[in-house]
Amino acid sequence: MSAVTVGVLALQGGVREHVRLLEELDARTVPLRTPSDLVGPDGLRVDALVLPGGESSTIDRLLRIFGLFEPLRDAVAGGLPTLGTCAGLILLAREVLDPAPGQQSLGVLDVTVRRNAFGSQVDSAELDLDTVDGPVNVAFIRAPQVVSVGPGVDVLARRDQAIVGVRQGAITGIAFHPELTGEPLFHRRLLETATASTPPARSVA
Ligand code: GLN
């Protein structure tokens, strides 16, 4: 089986840890900074996407400056398997509460999120969490919370009562950082989804 190629959005935030985890799982990774990193003359250049954590309002601004906002939105809306962590979840959401001034989101995941819902940086924590796919050990850093989900969205994980992990089709959004603790579950699932949805033409190329 040829390796899955994962585009990791690399405008700002915690890119390196995602790349390391994906490469440990035998994926190829490509940093995404410009529209042509994502889309070539023959269509999409990647089989899956990771939107890392960082500062969602900064990533949003850079996406628009680099002309990547619309191509990225179209690719995710078109079914490209995508994992968004923390700020990446905020970017995916349909609605963002407590946004920075002018902040936009891609609007491809039918959830409402509240930024910085667990308090400030000092309240960051490493926790064991139960998910529908089993227990994980992950880090929360100025994490958002999902405050409502649309009808097509499955809840994957909660921290106390708060929803912190969701899936809608090929899109997974999590409020925490599995890459910082080396927890491979979500990245493995992303690669499995990409393998299942990779057209034969690309997998034999
Ligand atoms: N609080 C950040 C934001 O609003 C997200 C933090 C993170 O990605 N670790 O973008």
Residue whose entry in the numeric block shows the structure tokens 């034999």 = 204
Residues 6+ apart with CB under 8 A from 71: 35, 38, 39
Residue 75 placed within a domain? yes
Residue 204 placed within a domain? no
State whether the beta carbon of 44 lies less than 6 angstroms from ligand 1: no
Calculate the average pLDDT of the chain.
Answer: 94
Helix, strand or coil, per DSSP, at residue 30: strand
- Asked if the model's pLDDT at residue 204 lies above 70, the reply is no
The CATH number of residue 51's host domain is: 3.40.50.880
More confident: 82 or 198: 82
- Asked if the model's pLDDT at residue 79 lies above 50, the reply is yes
Pick from 128, 125, 166, 127: which is nearest to 146 by CA?
166
Residue 136 placed within a domain? yes
pLDDT given at position 123: 72
Output the CA 92–ligand 1 centroid distance in Å: 13
- Asked if the model's pLDDT at residue 200 lies above 80, the reply is no
Residue 179 placed within a domain? yes
Pick from 184, 11, 179, 165: which is nearest to 89 by CA?
165
Question: 111 is written with which tokens?
Answer: 């959830």
Residue 201 placed within a domain? no
Q: Residue range 52-58: average pLDDT?
A: 97
Domain containing 54: what range? 5-196
State whether the beta carbon of 86 lies less than 6 angstroms from ligand 1: yes
Question: Ligand 1 atom closest to Cα of 52?
Answer: 8
State whether the beta carbon of 58 lies less than 6 angstroms from ligand 1: no
Catalytic positions, written as ranges: 86, 177, 179
pLDDT given at position 203: 44
Residue 202 placed within a domain? no
pLDDT given at position 201: 43
pLDDT given at position 47: 97
Question: Ligand 1 atom closest to Cα of 85?
Answer: 8
185: left (phi over 0), alpha (psi -120 to 50) or beta: alpha
pLDDT given at position 30: 97
Residue 93 placed within a domain? yes
Q: Residue range 97-122: average pLDDT?
A: 92
Output the CA 120–ligand 1 centroid distance in Å: 10
Q: Residue range 44-66: average pLDDT?
A: 98
pLDDT given at position 198: 63
Pick from 134, 149, 140, 150: which is nearest to 188 by CA?
134
pLDDT given at position 119: 74
Nearest CA to ligand 1 atom 2: 55
State whether the beta carbon of 53 lies less than 6 angstroms from ligand 1: yes
Q: Residue range 170-186: average pLDDT?
A: 98
pTM of the model: 0.94
Total domain count, the chain: 1
Tell me the per-residue pLDDT of 112-154, one tens digit each, with 9 for 90 and over.
999 999 876 557 899 999 999 999 999 999 999 999 999 999 9
Nearest CA to ligand 1 atom 5: 87
Output the CA 175–ligand 1 centroid distance in Å: 9
Residue 203 placed within a domain? no
